[in-house]
Amino acid sequence: MLSVATLPYNIAFSSKKQLQDIIMHALLEFLPLIGFGGGYLIGKAVNPDAAMYYLSYGAIIGTLLQFAIYRLRKQKMQKMTVITGYIFILFAALTIILQNDLFVKLKPTVVSWAFALFFIGYAVIKKQSILELMIGEQFTMPPANWMVLNHAWVIFNVIVGLVNLIVVWQVAEGLWDNDIWVGFKAALVPVSLVFIVGQTIYLFKKGTINDDNSVKNQRKM
C-alpha cells in the first residue's frame, strides 16, 4: 500500500519508456488504497458493523491486483513495495480470520516503525544512508546531507506510527469511530507526497545530478 517507504525516488530518467514506467508505478501504488477505500465504502453500505472486514478484503484484492499487473507488464517491483504489500495482506488476512480489526489498524505503525528501524540500523552498521545506496548513482551529495535525508525519513516514519497508534487507541476506547481512522489513512497519501516533495527539493538543492557519462566512469573506477 502507498506509503513513504514505497514511493519511487527515480526522479532522474533518461527515456520516454523510463518516464512511462515511473508514471505507471505511481498509479499502481494507488491500487491497494483504492481497494482499501472501496471495500470500506461497500461495507458501510451493506453491513456497517462489518465494514472493516470488507475493507480488509478490498485491500487484499487491490494488493493482489497490483502484483498481477506488475507481472503482466513485466515491470520490476521495488523491494519495499513487495514487502509492504505482503505485510498488508498478512495483517488484512489476520483481521478476517480472527475477526479482529486491530490487526489491519496496527499495520501502519508496524510498517512505519520497521522502516524507521531499518534506516537507523543501516546507517549505524554501514556508516551510510540507505538512500545513498538506492540513488547514489543518480545524485552526488556529501555524506552529511545524505544523513539529513536519512534522519528525516526516520523521524517521519516514527511520527506516522505514533499518530496511528493514538488514532487506533481513540477508536478502541469508543471516543472516535472507524471513519476517523480510515480518514487518517487516506490523509497519509497527500502528507506523504508533501514529504517526498520536500525531500526532492532538498536533494536538488544540496546535490547534483550525475549524467550517464559520469555514472559510467564511476563504475569503471
In the predicted model, what is the mean pLDDT of residues 2-18?
48
In the predicted model, what is the mean pLDDT of residues 17-28?
68
Report pLDDT for 19.
58
What is the rounded CA–CA span in Å between residue 11 and residue 7?
11
- Give the chain's largest Cα–Cα span: 63
Using alpha carbons, select from 53, 59, 1, 5 the residue that is nearest to residue 30. Answer: 1
Greater confidence, 16 or 184?
A: 184
Rounded to two decimals, what is the model's pTM? 0.81
Q: pLDDT > 90: what percent of the chain?
A: 58
Classified as helix, coil or strand, 170 is helix
Phi and psi at 139, nearest 5°, equal: -130, 145
Instruction: Report whether 40 contacts 20 (CB < 8 A).
Output: no
Using the predicted structure, report yes or no on whether residue 6 has a pLDDT greater than 70.
no
Q: What is the tens place of the pLDDT at every residue in 52-110?
A: 999 999 999 999 999 999 899 887 788 888 888 999 999 999 999 999 999 999 999 99
What is the rounded CA–CA span in Å between residue 131 and residue 164?
25
Q: What is the tens place of the pLDDT at every residue in 144-189?
A: 999 999 999 999 999 999 999 999 999 988 889 999 999 999 999 8
Instruction: Report whether 75 contacts 131 (CB < 8 A).
Output: no
Greater confidence, 218 or 182?
A: 182
Residues facing 209 on adjacent strands = 139
Cell of 171: 477508536
Q: pLDDT > 70: what percent of the chain?
A: 85
The alpha carbon torsion through 55, 61, 62, 68 (nearest 10 deg) reads 170
Classified as helix, coil or strand, 6 is coil
CA 153-29-8 angle, to 5 degrees, is: 45
Greater confidence, 138 or 42?
A: 42
Using the predicted structure, report yes or no on whether residue 12 has a pLDDT greater than 60.
no
Report pLDDT for 135.
82
What is the rounded CA–CA span in Å between residue 19 and residue 7?
15
Using the predicted structure, report yes or no on whether residue 214 has a pLDDT greater than 50.
no
